[in-house]
Amino acid sequence: MATLLRRSLRIAPRTLTPQITAYSISTMEHHTAKLDTTLTSKIQHFLDSSNFAVVANFKDFKPAQPKPNYRIVEWYINHQPDKGVTAVHIDKNNNPAVLPEGKSLLPTVESFENLQSNVAGMSPSSLENTSVSIVINAKETIRILRQAKDMNARAIWIQPGAMGEYGSDAGTLDARRQIEEFISTSGLADRMIWGGPCVMVEGLEVLRKRGQGQAKF
């Protein structure tokens, strides 16, 4: 069920502890995927969406060490201020989303299935005007990918770590295999970004080339 939280993100300075779900800021500052024509075109298509959804677990906000999921939501708020941003909180134990106190409203839904009902102007069964960022455990990523396909998401960005790049247990390796198979067989590869690029790095670079991006996280 959709929940509207009277909160937004106020992010602390760059003191992010490395997480399995994404790069630390220090790593991101040294990481740059090759922005060839194909990747640039995919990023432009992704960023031209009317709405953005960040799929992650939002149960644990620490002001001194904000995790990548919080930083990515803040990135969209800062760099796409005229567009909708929704936090999709995924927690198998039903822990509530925890977001910092702030001045504005941040829409939050408690499952991916409820996302379309929370975005203005969206048809009941389509996410055609929504780009989806996945910042979650790889074992959850494949389920979200399948749902995003069924709902016709405009574009999908699998953030570093959400494919299981940093895990070696059998469950994570199997999840990565399923994700790679999905990418190759789903017919969505031309509107998916995966394998290293981060929206806060490559997305910002594309915005800068358009004269829109500023160096702020």
Under the banding of pLDDT at 50, 70 and 90, the label for residue 33 is low
Between 175 and 116, whose confidence is greater?
175
Under the banding of pLDDT at 50, 70 and 90, the label for residue 17 is very low
Work out the average pLDDT over 74-103.
Answer: 84
Between 214 and 133, whose confidence is greater?
133
- Measuring CA to CA, which residue among 28, 4, 5, 8 is closest to residue 18? 28
CB 148: neighbour CB atoms within 10 A? 25
pLDDT at 60 (0 to 100): 82
Kindly state the helix (H) or strand (E) to which residue 174 belongs, with its residue range: helix 170-185
Between 33 and 123, whose confidence is greater?
33
Between 23 and 93, whose confidence is greater?
93
Judge contact between 174 and 138, C-beta under 8 A.
no
Between 8 and 205, whose confidence is greater?
205
Does the pLDDT of residue 41 top 90, yes or no?
Answer: yes
Pairing verdict, β 192-193 and 155-158? parallel
Work out the average pLDDT over 76-94.
Answer: 90
Residue 28 is which amino acid? M
Work out the average pLDDT over 98-126.
Answer: 66
Where are any strands of DSSP class E within the chain?
Answer: 3-7, 51-56, 84-89, 101-109, 130-135, 155-158, 192-193
pTM of this structure: 0.80
Work out the average pLDDT over 81-110.
Answer: 80
d(CA 175, CA 199): 22
Between 94 and 194, whose confidence is greater?
194
Work out the average pLDDT over 123-128.
Answer: 69
Under the banding of pLDDT at 50, 70 and 90, the label for residue 122 is low
Under the banding of pLDDT at 50, 70 and 90, the label for residue 30 is very low
3-state secondary structure 29-62: HHCCCCCCHHHHHHHHHHHCCCEEEEEECCCCCC
Contacts of 211 (CB under 8 A, 6+ apart): none
Pairing verdict, β 192-193 and 130-135? unpaired
Domain layout of the chain by residue ranges: 3-208
What pLDDT digit, counting tens, does each position of 182-197 carry?
999 999 999 999 999 9
**Between the CA atoms of 31, 34, 35 and 41, what dihedral angle is there, to the nearest 10 degrees?**
-110
CA angle 166, 204, 190 (to 5 degrees): 65
CATH fold group of domain 3-208: Rossmann fold (3.40.50)
**Between the CA atoms of 202, 208, 213 and 217, what dihedral angle is there, to the nearest 10 degrees?**
40
Question: Which segment of 88-92, 104-108, 136-140, 210-214 scores lowest on mean pLDDT?
Answer: 104-108
